[in-house]
Structure 1
Amino acid sequence: MVKDNGFSERARAWHGSAHSTVAPRGGLLLCHGFTSTPQSLRDWGEDHAARGWEVSLPLLPGHGASWRELARTPWQEWAGAVREAAHGLAARHGSIAVGGLSMGGALALALAEDPRTAPLVDSLVLVNPAVALPRAQAIALPVLQHLVPSIAPIASDTANGAAEEAYDRTPVRAVEQMRRLQRRVRRGLAEVRCPVLLATSVEDHVVDPRCSDLVARTVSGAVERLALTRSHHVATLDHDAPLLFARSAAFLDAVAAHA
């Protein structure tokens, strides 16, 4: 976690070309989470680029700058940035895989639900997808957003102490925007027909693991579950990261082989 404008190079948007020494796999779009940055997924992207994937890891609008800027950013801009990145990769590969952590998982699901972009998405890898807020928080947000500008941060929920580059405050108006995104995504879950790898931390202090259960029982595509027993919310930086990356690679290869 860092203060505003104190982000490193790894927090910027990143593009990884497939290594020339391995067989090309295709295009992979990775979507980071709420208040976070591409740093949280950079290891995942580098791992899969080394395996032959062309990886696009955009910085979502309102992120990596100031939490006050995020407070002014509607959820449609996050979705639009992900959609634009998907079209860019698909222009070179025909169809792509999409992965996401937390709110990035919700944005990945939104791509697979949208009839304009669903044909571009071959598969999803979702890590602790945030598709709902706690009920009390969701009820209070419409009023709270006009009373309190920010609350405590949610970043760096890891069992190994790894730091996530993210805002040191959580803008309440942006949480309300995320709630609206989540509501839209929940309505369309049954429209997701591609295969899904669903990785869920057993202990998560940010997103209720029951969000993964909701995704698993509602989407129409085949679902493969992966329990992350040694990691908290930001599993891509935690103890289970090597396991997650290996299972992600095997899953995506199996989908490609079947196709």
Structure 2
Amino acid sequence: MAFSELSRPWSARGHSNPRGGLLLCHGFTGSPQSLRPWAEDHADRGWAVELPLLPGHATTWQDLTTYRWRDWYEQVRAAAIDLSDEFGPIAVGGLSMGGALTLALGEDPELRGRIAALVAVNPGMTLTPVAGIAELLAPVVPTVAGIGSDVALDGVTEEAYDRTPLRAVGQLRRLFRRTRRGLGDVTAPLLLATSSQDHTVPPSDSDLVAAGVSGSVERLALPRSYHLAPLDHDAQRLFEASARFLEQHVPRRSGDAR
């Protein structure tokens, strides 16, 4: 599909006295467009927001096959370090694969103390068994149907690839497996938002996260939304909960008495 300006990286760093730093991570085969309303909402609340475009996304599915999961992780890790260098302990949030990346950042021992709060929306942790041989199948079956636009709200379309490359699915599997194994290292407070009907990531993946992390977990139900909750009926419910959670857990910079 054609990607609009909404799928480009987005940043809000112009506040004269920002509340703090917030990094948002989009999902697999998608783009920043899926999180743009969340990013803009929190920017309006005073947060300095970074919403990067992950390597291989919002171009062509062929481009996505040239990257590995570590490329996606290093992109958001570098953004987290940059934000925390400027604002101190930051918040990180993500959707789907972006939720897995959010948790992976929370597991990183070198980021301990830099991340004060996490928000994961329908985070992916598992894939179907066929994903285990996705990279073996890729030379014969390069792509399968796209996974985008799982939205209950009429008229909303996600800017995402129409096809899902199996080589990249293999990398997604590695990211999920690595993140799932390290969940016990997540100690930052976590807001875990889960749609009751999700045709992309099973809601049980959120249960795996809640049971696996070591830090405190607050659960948020999204009863009227499918997978892409930041674009769906429960978007405002999510944004309000996220804003309250971050206000509670992200320390203000010294000198900011608001």
TM-score, reference length from structure 2: 0.94
Q: Does the 8 Å CA contact 1:106/1:185 hold for their aligned counterparts?
A: yes
Superposed displacement of residue 140, structure 1: 3.6
Q: Does the 8 Å CA contact 1:145/1:176 hold for their aligned counterparts?
A: no
The residue number in structure 2 matching 1:176 is: 170
2:100 maps to 1:102: no
State the identity as a percent: 57
The residue number in structure 2 matching 1:217 is: 211
The residue number in structure 2 matching 1:197 is: 191
The residue number in structure 1 matching 2:50 is: 56
Superposed displacement of residue 257, structure 1: 5.8
The residue number in structure 2 matching 1:254 is: 248
Q: Does the 8 Å CA contact 1:151/1:169 hold for their aligned counterparts?
A: yes
One of 132, 141, 148 as aligned partner of 2:134: 141
Consecutive unaligned residues of structure 2, counting only runs of 5 or more, are: 254-258
One of 148, 151, 155 as aligned partner of 1:155: 148
Runs of 4+ with deviation above 6 angstroms:
none
Q: Does the 8 Å CA contact 2:24/2:93 hold for their aligned counterparts?
A: yes
2:62 maps to 1:38: no
Q: Which amino acid in the other structure matches residue 12 of structure 2? A: G
2:257 maps to 1:230: no
TM-score, reference length from structure 1: 0.94
Q: Report the 3-state secondary structure (helix = DSSP H, G, I; strand = E; otherwise coil) of the residue aligned with 2:198.
A: coil
Name the CA shift for 1:18/1:253 in 2 (closer, same or farther; >3 Å): farther
The residue number in structure 1 matching 2:118 is: 124
2:13 maps to 1:17: yes
Q: Which amino acid in the other structure matches residue 3 of structure 2? A: F
The residue number in structure 1 matching 2:256 is: none
Could you tell me how far apart the structure 2 residues matched to 1:201 and 1:258 are?
31
Superposed displacement of residue 228, structure 1: 0.3
Superposed displacement of residue 120, structure 1: 1.1
Deviation readout 1:79-100 (Å, 9 max, x if unpaired): 0100111111011111110000
Q: Report the 3-state secondary structure (helix = DSSP H, G, I; strand = E; otherwise coil) of the residue aligned with 1:197.
A: strand
The number of aligned residues is 252
The residue number in structure 2 matching 1:76 is: 70
Q: Report the 3-state secondary structure (helix = DSSP H, G, I; strand = E; otherwise coil) of the residue aligned with 1:119.
A: coil
The residue number in structure 2 matching 1:245 is: 239
Could you tell me how far apart the structure 2 residues matched to 1:33 and 1:170 are?
13
Q: Does the 8 Å CA contact 1:18/1:52 hold for their aligned counterparts?
A: no
Superposed displacement of residue 25, structure 1: 1.6
Name the CA shift for 1:62/1:257 in 2 (closer, same or farther; >3 Å): closer
Superposed displacement of residue 19, structure 1: 4.5
Consecutive unaligned residues of structure 1, counting only runs of 5 or more, are: none
Could you tell me how far apart the structure 2 residues matched to 1:8 and 1:119 are?
36
Could you tell me how far apart the structure 2 residues matched to 1:212 and 1:224 are?
11
Deviation readout 1:194-251 (Å, 9 max, x if unpaired): 0000000000000011110000011000000001000000000000000000000001
Bigger mean CA offset, 11-20 vs 181-190: 11-20
Q: CA RMSD in A?
A: 1.5
Q: Does the 8 Å CA contact 1:16/1:54 hold for their aligned counterparts?
A: yes
Superposed displacement of residue 32, structure 1: 0.1
Could you tell me how far apart the structure 1 residues matched to 2:206 and 2:14 are?
30
Could you tell me how far apart the structure 2 residues matched to 1:142 and 1:154 are?
18
Q: Report the 3-state secondary structure (helix = DSSP H, G, I; strand = E; otherwise coil) of the residue aligned with 2:113.
A: helix
